[in-house]
Amino acid sequence: MFRTRLLSGIVLVVLAGILVTKGGALLCGAMAVISLIGMFELYRVMGVESRAPGAAGYLACLAYYGMVWLGDESYLTLLAIATLMILMAIYVVTFPEYGTEQITVAFFGVFYLAVMLSYLYRVRELPDGMYLVWLIFISSWGSDTCAYCVGMLLGRHKLAPVLSPKKSIEGAVGGVAGAALLAFLYASFFGDRMQEIASPQISCVLACAIAAVISEIGDLAASAIKRNHRVKDYGHLIPGHGGVLDRFDSMIFTAPAIYFALFFLG
């Protein structure tokens, strides 16, 4: 199992490197596909993955990424309202085929996955995006790895005993500290190429530390949904890791966190 997980992780890192390096249409399209797969996994938990509410969510996701690619999001509020109206129309016309929770999750999925994951592409499109985008991976996958290692070695106090018994407070602290350290080392090598960032080392460390804290919430939130619906994994697309939501759960939160942290840090 460990070997499978390791090999899958290596493949993921290589693919991420190619997509992030290329950027542009390739990355935007990839994020749209990943968002759609994640939405499918989430909708499957609620039993609407191939039904009308799910279809409305998929169309909203595609429309949103069309706006992101065109660089015009002035109609985002209109899209949100239209999606909600369509879902409520489906709810009313087909009543009582769908429960309130199914309609709510269909709407929630558009923002939870499509909108939040799109910030990886947005960070890549920033003036220094070629270098800044890696902060998302440092604060999610880097933080996860550090938290796991510290938790295995020093973990004594449970972070969320009911929700995730294996996570410890020591591991969480180690994940944040590890992300900050990795960000410092990263900025030490590439900071001079970040022309638009004031004090790259300080900005990168603070951004990754903030995002690493938020990544814990993203990880636990995905676990909470699985616990509520008695699901072990969202899918089996990635051998040893599960589905897209199982692997990208923390990145869903770190992508917008890094974007706005950098925005406010200048």
pLDDT value, residue 3:
67
Residues 168 and 221 in one domain: yes
From 108, 125, 142, the end of a domain falls on 125
Residues 57 and 173 in one domain: no
d(CA 45, CA 179): 32
pLDDT value, residue 72:
83
**Which tokens in the block code for residue 88?**
């409520």
Mean pLDDT of successive 10-residue segments in the chain (266 residues)? 68 87 94 96 94 97 96 89 97 95 96 96 93 94 90 87 86 94 95 86 94 92 86 72 82 95 85
Residues 236 and 114 in one domain: no
Its pTM stands at: 0.92
From 107, 125, 143, the end of a domain falls on 125
Distance of CA 138 to the CA centre of its chain: 13
Residues 201 and 259 in one domain: yes
Residues 140 and 108 in one domain: no
Residues 103 and 169 in one domain: no
Residues 211 and 145 in one domain: yes
pLDDT value, residue 2:
54
Residues 105 and 17 in one domain: yes
Residues 219 and 134 in one domain: yes
Residues 153 and 250 in one domain: yes
Residues 96 and 151 in one domain: no
pLDDT value, residue 5:
66
From 125, 142, 166, the end of a domain falls on 125
Residues 241 and 252 in one domain: yes
Q: What range defines the domain where residue 107 resides?
A: 1-125
Number of domains in the chain: 2
